[in-house]
Amino acid sequence: MTDCLHGALSRSGTTARAVLLTLFLFLATNAEAEAWLDAGDSALRSDIQYLVDSGVIDVVLTSWPIPSADIAWALENAKGREYLTTGQLAAIGRVQRRLSMFRRDAFRVTGHTSVAANPIELRTFEDTPREEGEIGGTLSDAGERFAGRLAVQWVSSPDDGKSVRLDGTYGSMRLGNWLLSAGWLDRWWGPGWDASLLLSNNARPVPAIALDRESSRPFKSKWLSWIGPWRFSTFMGRMEEHREDRDHPLLFGTRLSFRPFSNIKIGSVHPFRGFEFAIERTAQWCAEGLPCDLDAFWHVLTGKDSAGVVVSPQDEPGNQLGGYSFRWGSPAKWFPVSFYYQKTGESGDLNGTSFRIGRELNIWGAETWWATQGGYMWRAHGEVAYTTCGDSAGGTSVLFDCAYTNHLFPVEGYRYRGRPVGDSIDGDGRSYSFGLQFMTPRAWSASMLVRYAELNRGGVVPDAINTVAQEPVNAWEVELGAVLPGVKSDFKVGLGFDHADDQVTNQVDETLHAYITYQYRF
């Protein structure tokens, strides 16, 4: 099985040809909608979250990308339409506008271009340009069973040396209530707005084969209906061919998220309406010099891969990260607030002699929102992320040079093409952020983010592995952004400034960031 997976993902060119063939097979079908709502649109996410928190729809929302059919069905079956507020109707209108972009024509062609001065390095959920210049286009179509998108970009001065990219390309097939897909899709797992410990859109998407539950509707069984809406996602991807530690590792991920007891009512209150819980795991395995057979995959799948505990050191299959997250929203309509948390356990090598699992990374956050009678929407959030193993409030077991690094992958570690697959601040960091979003009934939006980050707080100095700072750096960052959508086009601008203070050399760097993105739908 693993040999087949490795063959299917062995070269980008081979994967590209397979995706192109899938695309051509369904281009003659009638359009319904694209299969996915991509990670990276904060305004869309905010609107859907507002509709969930206010009880209009009931879907799982901390696993991105999200099947578009799930949101479309939820809106079509929204409860109590005659009692919806102006703010809720405005949010529905903005979401339906986004969905309608995929249904307008049987075949959709989109072109886009972006220019950036000093692209933002500490990325959040919002999609921003990765390079200084980019131009590209997409061809997309969908039918009853098949859907897909061919996305091609050319970028200038790429950090990873890849000037032609297929990021965003996918082909998918519906199998009952499941989507089998292959391609390059960004994944964001977790409730955070500015950080995600396990999977984020910080690194470019890893080419992968995936299986996802399409509709998150609850079980009909009275014995299982308490689980509420649920979604299961799993994928197997292939990382770079040439790495400085071990070439071409496979990246395996699986996540189960659900909203238990969401329909339970105590008096007039739904105490669990805003609660969502998830368990999640990823693993790097089947790389050069590591076992790649069914026994190895079974140890990865069951989490029984600790060297010297379950398997011998020479049979240790790879590096695993895993944990859980939750988000809970207040049921009180007069107090719209939610709290969220994500914990991830990291593997670590201690003095090269012993091996431990469970060194934790953490994210804490809170958010509030309000909608006006005119249909305007505001959302504010505060978030704290710790990416130092064992670091927490009052923690005493801090271990540096542990997060996103493992003795089996000691150089590039849990990173893809030069960027962490998890949090953009990389390992040994802390970040404190405050964000604000504003949306109009016409779907125009604006955002602001203020963040203070302590980067590469300890460990080896200089640290060539850390992708954002080779030595301890304290940085302030301010970002402003706006999206101005039109009938067939979207115009997006951003402006930012950061102040970085090197704690070793006392050197201060101040950088201005700016970008402009334009997209046109033919």
Return the closest-CA partner of residue 455 out of 419, 394, 503, 413.
Answer: 503
pLDDT band at 272 (very low <50, low <70, confident <90, very high): confident
Task: Output the pTM of the full model.
Answer: 0.90
What's the pLDDT at 267? Answer: 72
Q: Would you mind telling me the total number of residues written for the chain in this entry? A: 522
Q: What CA–CA distance (Å, rounded) separates 209 from 18?
A: 11
* DSSP H helical ranges for 9-85: 12-26, 42-53, 68-76
b/e burial code for range 185-211 (CB count within 10 A of at least 16 → b)? bbbbbbbbbbbbbbbbbbbbbbbbbbe
Amino acid, res. 209 = I
Return the closest-CA partner of residue 279 out of 362, 343, 356.
Answer: 343
pLDDT digits (tens, 9 = 90+) for 199-244: 999 999 999 999 999 999 999 888 898 999 999 999 999 999 999 9
Is position 81 within any domain?
yes
Residue 29 scores a pLDDT above 50: no
Is position 159 within any domain?
no
Q: What average pLDDT does this structure show over 94-123? A: 83
Token digits of residue 8:
């299917």
Token digits of residue 276:
């969502």
What's the pLDDT at 20? Answer: 36
Q: What CA–CA distance (Å, rounded) separates 58 from 52?
A: 5
Q: What CA–CA distance (Å, rounded) separates 230 from 505?
A: 50
Q: What average pLDDT does this structure show over 300-325? A: 73
pLDDT digits (tens, 9 = 90+) for 333-390: 788 999 999 999 876 443 333 434 467 899 999 999 999 888 999 999 999 999 999 8
| Contact assessment for residue 167 and residue 155, using Cβ atoms and an 8 Å cutoff | no
Q: What CA–CA distance (Å, rounded) separates 372 from 391?
A: 40
| Contact assessment for residue 214 and residue 67, using Cβ atoms and an 8 Å cutoff | yes
Angle between helices 86-100 and 68-76 (to 10 degrees): 140
Query: Cis (ω within 30 of 0) for the bond into 441?
Result: no
Written as one string, the DSSP assignment of 275-329 is -EEEEEEEEEES-TTS--SHHHHHHHHHT---BTTTB-GGG--EEEEEEEEEEEE
| Contact assessment for residue 480 and residue 496, using Cβ atoms and an 8 Å cutoff | yes
Token digits of residue 466:
């850390």
Residues whose CB falls within 8 Å of the CB of residue 83, separated by 6 or more in sequence, listed in order: none
Token digits of residue 360:
């934790």
Q: What average pLDDT does this structure show over 267-279? A: 84
Is position 169 within any domain?
no
Residue 8 scores a pLDDT above 60: no
Residue 147 DSSP SS3: strand
Q: What average pLDDT does this structure show over 99-105? A: 63
Is position 141 within any domain?
no
Residue 90 belongs to what H/E stretch?
helix 86-100
Q: Is the dihedral of CA 190, 483, 70, 21 positive or negative?
A: negative
Residues whose CB falls within 8 Å of the CB of residue 512, separated by 6 or more in sequence, listed in order: 117, 118, 495, 496, 497
Return the closest-CA partner of residue 71 out of 85, 60, 63.
Answer: 60
- Domain of residue 487: give its range: 34-105+186-517
Is position 370 within any domain?
yes
Is position 331 within any domain?
yes
pLDDT band at 103 (very low <50, low <70, confident <90, very high): low
**Could you give the angle at the alpha carbon of 100 between the alpha carbons of 516 and 436, nearest 5°?**
45
Token look-up 């005659």 returns 82
**Which CATH number is 425's domain given?**
2.40.160.130
Q: What CA–CA distance (Å, rounded) separates 208 from 188?
A: 14
Is position 271 within any domain?
yes
Is position 158 within any domain?
no
Residue 116: Cβ-neighbour burial (10 angstroms; 0-12, 13-18, 19+):
buried
Return the closest-CA partner of residue 365 out of 121, 196, 122.
Answer: 196
Report which of residues 264 and 149 the model is more confident about. 149
What is the average pLDDT score of the chain? 87
Q: Comparing 4-8, 76-80, 273-277, 408-412, which segment has the lowest mean pLDDT?
A: 4-8
Q: What CA–CA distance (Å, rounded) separates 493 from 440?
A: 17
Torsion of CA 214, 205, 367, 495, to 10 degrees: -140
Angle between helices 86-100 and 42-53 (to 10 degrees): 130
How many domains, in total, are found in the chain? 1
